[in-house]
Amino acid sequence: MPSDRTSCEVACSHCGLPVPTGLIQPEAPSFCCAACEQVYAIIGSLGLDRYYVLRERLPGTRRRAVRRGREYAEFDDTTFARLHVRSLPSGARRIELYLEGVHCAACIWLVERLPRVLPGVLDARLDLGRARAVIDWDPEQVSLSMIARQLDGLGYPSHPFRGRDAALAAERERRTLWIRLAISGACAGNVMLISFALYGGLFHGIEPEYHRLLRCAALLVSIPALWWGAGGFFRNAASALRRGRLHIDLPVSVGILAGFGHGAWSVLTGGGEIYLDSVTMLIFLLLAGRLLERGQQRKAAEAGELLHSLSPTRATLIDGDGERSVLIEALLPGMRIRVRGGELIPADGTVRAGEGELDRSLMTGESRPVRVSTGDRVEAGATHLSGALDVEVEEVGEKTRLGRLLQSMEEIARRRAPVVRLADRLAGVFVAAVLLAALLTAVIVGRDSPSGAIDRALALLIVTCPCALALATPLAVAAALGRAARLGILIRGGDVLERLCKPGTIWFDKTGTLTRGRMERIAWEGSAELERAVAAVEDQVAHPIAVAFRRAVPGVLPIVTGISALPGGGVSGMVEGTSIVIGAPGAVVEMVGADTDHPLCRAAMAHAAAGRTPVLIAWAGSLAGLAAFGDPIRSDARAVVERWRARGWRVGLLSGDAPDVARAVGTHLGIPIERCLGGVTPEGKLAHIQGETAAGISTVMVGDGVNDAAALAAATVGIAIEGGAAAALRAADAFVTGRRLGAVADLLEGAHRTIATIRIGLGFSLAYNAVGAALAMSGLLHPLVAAVLMPLSSLTVVTLSFRARTFDPPRADLEDEIDGIGAVRGEVLPCR
């Protein structure tokens, strides 16, 4: 393992994360990476220093700055404008942008300062939870590309928001829920007031005329609550019944209808008691619970469409002799495109000219770069690392392998049947049971003393209140989701927690999940002087191996001249007058004509056999050094595996990387060898997970790449870890930000604690209601005492649910890879 712990004494002047020792500047602002330094300078030059004051004062995550440094020329394109820009009646333009790098409340301030620093921007509004900004600007004064460049300079690379339709639909649904809540709330309040008058009348007498009036009014007012408020429940229940499925709204609907039917019948026939106050209150509380839960779910669920926002917007088309830049929507099969180093491949196709190296880890999970040349297939979603490739496009957009994978993910997510929650089942049964008990009491006691029967039935109806029952679960869930979010775990909904409590098999992806997902220098043989010379050369190269080497060697470096690329992979140059060759063993050996029996050569082959990438260095024409690179296992991986096992789960490894690498990692973590599966394609992962779930085994999949996306959706619970394809995976059941693997185990333990809290709340509520009902039926409870006791039960359950410590801040011994909320130490990764 490389040493990546740095002292936490110096914090980056921009982002506040620790500065690697090599980059600490005495007596001056220090930065953890180049992007932070640039953003710091830009913020200072615009006079927006107040951002740092606010950042210290307001809570939020720490995150390294991101900068793309692009020109954003495509933002001025007419096609782009047609797709994403709206014209306002005033002549101004409006666009919705998805901003990368939004992480804390101070970001709101910084983004909304845009109109002051860039003339022509009329308004900027940031939605913090969704990282979406609405920008209004005057096209006469400023261009959209200038706005995007300014945002990029502030550390917020922007992308057009492409999932508008889905987002609009979700917004409409949310608004409808608010309106339903408002209607049922208003009705419940009024019915409650009318009922109070009726209860008062029962104690002190009421003229039959007013008695009838009030009961009719109560019935009338509760109709809108039933129609609009509970209408959604009925529709869901009916459509589920038609398809022969269970739905969470079925028992709820039955209970509500029974209560309302009974009330209506009583009013119309003039006999019996009405129970409409409790029915309307139940509708209101159920809706409030749904909204509470949704508020917490939103962040986790909504970003699914963001993958589209994060894929490249432009491609370079080769047209006749010239090149021109086109929008990605304009690409068609058969066209030729050119992909330069550092760019994403925009479509599936075949390489027609050029060669280079691809980082396919997003799709295949393979951590090592792959060389491609003429005739090789390339896939959308891979990153091209170096050189230029001419690619003939074969499939575009949703027809690419990447697109199909994401589609199958969405498909699976849609098909999954909802879990009928314990609390919802109980709430429905509850209403029916109480009505039956009240009826029994009235009938049995009524034979002896009619007035005593009314008192008892009334006390029963008042003391048995569904409030606690209907609210216990949503509150506990909302509180748990909120606490989890503060730990950087975004959970889709309460059912995820329920599903996590049934042990089964958990499958981990390897690259980026159990490992760090990027190259690190693992071994070095050679002198310190040579090390600095190599670092100086690698400093000029943008290859992941070069970056990893540069990262491992801090400090001032010698000057390099005459750098050129080796044909077989590598670079050569002159460092202070001495020639140096760095590259793949084969290329270097051929270049300097060394003996393959050289000890360094043999060591290089040993490293290669162990699944690492060796690099040989020739200094002044002879072999002098060796470095080996690999993807190191995260330090908390072992602890996480152990914590899941302690809860009765079987642990397995499902990797797209070579089988021997998968086995090596698995053995290191104590995963049985028969469950270390390597060389699995994304489709294979999906099939494997689907096979297990079909066999009735509860499966959890943990992954970070697009290659895991479909498997994540198919698993009983899919847990995504923030990585290369963060946006694509936000749709998973649980999403862990900040690359902290320990959170995966926190999630399991938090889920168990939450479910325990819910059970206690429900148990308490049921026990209270049972005791109260028994007392009321036996005539020991006066209706007035019952009315005082009712809110007490709600209060207890609500306090119990809300205060439960379901998701605690991480334990100190697991903190070493936190990159998030409240963390003192951060994972030290320079920006890419």
Partner 1 sequence: MSVIYVLLPVALFLSTVALLAFIRAVRTGQFDDLDTPPWRILTDDDDALSQVQETRSSASQRSEPR
Supply the residues annotated as catalytic: 509
What percent of the chain is helix, strand and coil (3-state, nearest 5)?
Answer: 50, 15, 30
Tokens of 249: 């709204």
- What 3-state DSSP class applies to 596? coil
User: Going by C-beta distance under 8 Å and a sequence separation of 6 or more, which residues neighbour residue 486?
Assistant: 807, 821, 822
Q: Tell me the C-alpha to C-alpha distance, in Å, between residue 383 and each of 66, 325, 339, 361.
A: 18, 18, 10, 9
In the list 119, 452, 558, 672, the residue contacting partner 1 (rule: CB under 8 A) is 119
Shortest CB 524 distance to partner 1, Å:
47
Task: Give the per-residue SS3 of 287-326.
Answer: HHHHHHHHHHHHHHHHHHHHHHHHCCCEEEEEECCEEEEE
In the list 32, 99, 118, 351, the residue contacting partner 1 (rule: CB under 8 A) is 118
Q: Which is nearer to partner 1, 104 or 616 (CB)?
A: 104
The span from the CA of 371 to the CA of 385, in Å, is 10
Q: Which of 224, 149, 731 is CA-nearest to residue 490?
A: 731
In the list 25, 87, 127, 323, the residue contacting partner 1 (rule: CB under 8 A) is 127
| Residues 55-74 interacting with partner 1 (rule: CB under 8 A) | 58
Shortest CB 113 distance to partner 1, Å:
8
Shortest CB 770 distance to partner 1, Å:
35
Shortest CB 140 distance to partner 1, Å:
12
Give, as one character, the DSSP assignment of residue 398.
G
Q: Which is nearer to partner 1, 113 or 550 (CB)?
A: 113
Shortest CB 806 distance to partner 1, Å:
21
Cα angle 368, 371, 373 (rounded to 5 degrees) comes to 165
Tokens of 15: 């982002």
Which x/- pattern, by CB under 8 A, does the window 245-284 give for partner 1? ----------------------------------------
Shortest CB 471 distance to partner 1, Å:
19
| Residue pointed to by tokens 């050029």 | 354
Which x/- pattern, by CB under 8 A, does the window 288-327 give for partner 1? -------x--------------------------------
CB 274 within 8 A of CB 267: yes
Shortest CB 39 distance to partner 1, Å:
17
Tokens of 26: 């005495």
In the list 5, 71, 164, 210, the residue contacting partner 1 (rule: CB under 8 A) is 210
Asked if residue 109 binds partner 1 (CB under 8 A), the reply is yes
Tally of CB atoms within 10 A around 359: 21
In the list 7, 8, 25, 50, the residue contacting partner 1 (rule: CB under 8 A) is 50
Asked if residue 716 binds partner 1 (CB under 8 A), the reply is no
Tokens of 683: 């489709």
In the list 23, 108, 437, 814, the residue contacting partner 1 (rule: CB under 8 A) is 108
User: Going by C-beta distance under 8 Å and a sequence separation of 6 or more, which residues neighbour residue 693?
Assistant: 699, 714, 715, 716
Shortest CB 731 distance to partner 1, Å:
20
User: Going by C-beta distance under 8 Å and a sequence separation of 6 or more, which residues neighbour residue 707?
Assistant: 362, 363, 364, 365, 405, 509, 656, 681, 682, 685
Q: Which is nearer to partner 1, 110 or 317 (CB)?
A: 110
Asked if residue 576 binds partner 1 (CB under 8 A), the reply is no
Asked if residue 207 binds partner 1 (CB under 8 A), the reply is yes
In the list 5, 86, 116, 377, the residue contacting partner 1 (rule: CB under 8 A) is 116
Give, as one character, the DSSP assignment of residue 344.
B
Shortest CB 355 distance to partner 1, Å:
48
For residue 288, report the phi and psi dihedrals to the nearest 5 degrees.
-60, -40
Q: Which is nearer to partner 1, 174 or 638 (CB)?
A: 174
The enclosing H or E element of 643 equals helix 637-646
| Residues 142-201 interacting with partner 1 (rule: CB under 8 A) | 171, 174-175, 178-179, 182-183, 186, 189-190, 193-194
Which x/- pattern, by CB under 8 A, does the window 747-786 give for partner 1? ----------------------------------------
For partner 1 (CB under 8 A), the number of binding residues is: 46
The count of C-alpha atoms lying within 13 angstroms of the C-alpha of 346, restricted to the half-sphere facing its C-beta, is: 28
The span from the CA of 159 to the CA of 310, in Å, is 7
In the list 29, 44, 115, 822, the residue contacting partner 1 (rule: CB under 8 A) is 115
Asked if residue 53 binds partner 1 (CB under 8 A), the reply is yes
Q: Which is nearer to partner 1, 60 or 779 (CB)?
A: 60
| Residues 215-244 interacting with partner 1 (rule: CB under 8 A) | 217, 221
The span from the CA of 104 to the CA of 111, in Å, is 11
Asked if residue 506 binds partner 1 (CB under 8 A), the reply is no
Q: Which residues bind partner 1 (CB under 8 A)?
A: 46-48, 50, 53-54, 58, 105-106, 108-109, 112-113, 115-119, 121-123, 125-130, 136, 171, 174-175, 178-179, 182-183, 186, 189-190, 193-194, 207, 210, 213, 217, 221, 295
